[in-house]
């Protein structure tokens, strides 16, 4: 079976919903950021510090290529991954891309205490999130084969994805 690739903004629930989906469908779960970290032997934070965002995006692109070669996975992509055409092209037509759609206010609330995501460690975090969200939202929508609301509990969202995807 083709992979299911969850996409959406940081904090939309890709990893939690992905793990639930894998458990419920008997598929293997793969978190793209953890995959990148294991290969690079560095945390995402360290990769940003040492290689910059561009360096991280290269590793992310490589991860997309490698993961799309596998089958039967539930993949939680990184929040930026599917905003790049070259990554969308890797999965599109082969795997199913699902957007977990969560409004900006909910995202802001969920990420209010975040201390790990490199893009959010700044004074003007709220403004940065707003700008990034506005820029990215149309890209997620264009990339997605299916859009599911991710505003409810992770389990309700998981079931909504299963129904939408007929998993």
Please tell me whether residue 80 binds ligand S3P under the rule CB under 6 A.
yes
128 and 120 Cβ atoms separated by less than 8 Å: yes
Please tell me whether residue 119 binds ligand S3P under the rule CB under 6 A.
yes
Tell which positions 36-65 bind ligand S3P, by CB under 6 A: 44
Tell which positions 122-151 bind ligand S3P, by CB under 6 A: none
Residue 166 CB, nearest approach to ligand S3P (Å):
26
Measured distance CA(62)–CA(159) in Å, rounded: 31
Binding range to ligand S3P, per CB under 6 A, among 64-72, 102-110, 115-123, 155-163: 115-123
Question: Can you read off the two tokens belonging to residue 47?
Answer: 């990769």
Binding range to ligand S3P, per CB under 6 A, among 61-69, 85-93, 117-125, 150-158: 117-125
Strand (E) or helix (H) holding 100: strand 96-101
Binding range to ligand S3P, per CB under 6 A, among 16-24, 116-124, 140-148, 151-159: 116-124
Of 29, 118, 162, 167, which lies in the binding site for ligand S3P, with binding defined by CB under 6 A?
118
Measured distance CA(51)–CA(75) in Å, rounded: 24
**Token pair 């490698």 in the structure block, residue:** 66
Measured distance CA(163)–CA(70) in Å, rounded: 23
Measured distance CA(72)–CA(118) in Å, rounded: 30
Output 1 or 50, the one with its CB closest to ligand S3P: 50
Output 10 or 40, the one with its CB closest to ligand S3P: 10
Question: Can you read off the two tokens belonging to residue 134?
Answer: 């506005």
129 and 11 Cβ atoms separated by less than 8 Å: no
Residue 16 CB, nearest approach to ligand S3P (Å):
10
- Is residue 117 exposed (0-12), middle (13-18) or buried (19+ Cβ within 10 Å)? middle
Please tell me whether residue 117 binds ligand S3P under the rule CB under 6 A.
yes
Binding site for ligand S3P (CB under 6 A): 10, 14, 33, 44, 78-80, 117-119
């Amino acid at each position: 079976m083709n992979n299911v690739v969850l996409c959406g903004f940081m904090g939309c629930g890709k990893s939690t919903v992905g793990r639930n989906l894998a458990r419920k469908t008997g598929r293997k779960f793969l978190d793209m950021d953890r995959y990148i970290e294991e290969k690079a032997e560095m945390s995402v934070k360290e990769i940003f510090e040492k290689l910059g965002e561009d360096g991280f995006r290269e590793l992310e692109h490589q991860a997309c290529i490698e993961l799309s070669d596998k089958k039967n996975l539930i993949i939680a992509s990184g929040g930026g991954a599917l905003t790049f055409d070259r990554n969308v092209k890797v999965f599109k037509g082969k795997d199913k891309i699902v957007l977990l759609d969560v409004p900006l206010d909910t995202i802001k609330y969920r990420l209010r205490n975040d201390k790990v995501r490199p893009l959010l460690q700044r004074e003007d975090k709220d403004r940065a999130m707003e700008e990034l969200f506005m820029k990215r939202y149309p890209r997620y929508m264009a990339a997605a084969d299916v859009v599911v609301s991710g505003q409810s509990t992770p389990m309700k969202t998981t079931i909504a994805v299963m129904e939408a995807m007929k998993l």
